């Protein structure tokens, strides 16, 4: 029986400066994919992936395009080795490369949509930050799932957003709410409250304006 592969794609927070540079050096198909994305997006994607500082890369208008580009480039490298997906799935932003490889969206439309989506969402994030003396909103992973909703409610503008497992829930919120969440979480005995490398309170009512 032949092997079947599932391709699973990550969402925002998976970005890191220098991402997939080694893949592009080893597989010209991956680099060619990035060159095609650069033409569609109207910017140098290799510079975005390899020369952008972590803080800037975490912005929604940077990370969404970067992660999607990396995902599609890795898929191109796998295809060159004869490995193609029987099924695709994605977490949040990851749905877009999944739809692209599944034939739901064209390659060009995927890039255009993701770029515009990132710009729209970052505008909302900037507006939220402006109401908080310039302090950006964000997300935090809390290792105390049974208490998260109550803690988030007490923290103010914070919302349980991603119930990732029985041990971890991610909370989205304003800068002030997340700071309060850290205090309340530790007081309630949370094993860990960790800020994520994202620039917005995704999957929460705070992002409604982006819809």
Catalytic residues: 92, 203
> CA torsion sign, 117 to 68 to 103 to 1?
negative
197 CB neighbour count, 10 Å cutoff: 16
Helix (H) / strand (E) containing 175: helix 175-187
| Other Cβ atoms closer than 10 A to 87 | 12
Retrieve residue 135's tokens: 């302090």
Q: Do 10 and 67 form a contact (C-beta atoms < 8 A)?
A: yes
Query: Could you tell me which residues come within 8 angstroms of residue 146 by beta carbon, excluding any fewer than 6 positions away?
Result: none
SS3 142: strand
Distance of alpha carbon 162 from its chain centroid, rounded? 13
């Amino acid at each position: 029986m032949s092997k079947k592969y599932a391709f699973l794609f990550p969402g925002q927070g998976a970005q890191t400066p220098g991402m997939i540079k080694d893949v592009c050096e080893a597989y010209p198909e991956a680099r060619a994919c990035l060159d095609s994305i650069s033409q569609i997006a109207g910017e140098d994607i290799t510079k975005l992936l390899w020369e952008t500082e972590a803080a800037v890369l975490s912005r929604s208008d940077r990370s969404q395009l970067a992660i999607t580009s990396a995902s599609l480039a890795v898929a191109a490298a796998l295809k060159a080795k004869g490995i193609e997906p029987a099924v695709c799935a994605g977490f949040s932003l990851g749905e877009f490369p999944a739809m692209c490889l599944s034939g739901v969206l064209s390659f060009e439309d995927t890039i255009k949509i993701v770029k515009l989506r990132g710009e729209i969402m970052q505008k909302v994030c900037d507006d939220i930050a402006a109401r908080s003396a310039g302090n950006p909103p964000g997300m935090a992973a809390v290792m105390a799932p049974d208490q998260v909703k109550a803690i988030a409610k007490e923290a103010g503008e914070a919302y349980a957003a991603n119930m990732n497992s029985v041990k971890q829930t991610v909370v989205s919120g304003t800068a002030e709410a997340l700071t309060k969440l850290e205090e309340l979480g530790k007081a309630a005995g949370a094993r860990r409250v960790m800020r994520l490398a994202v620039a917005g309170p995704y999957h929460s009512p705070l992002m409604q304006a982006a819809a």
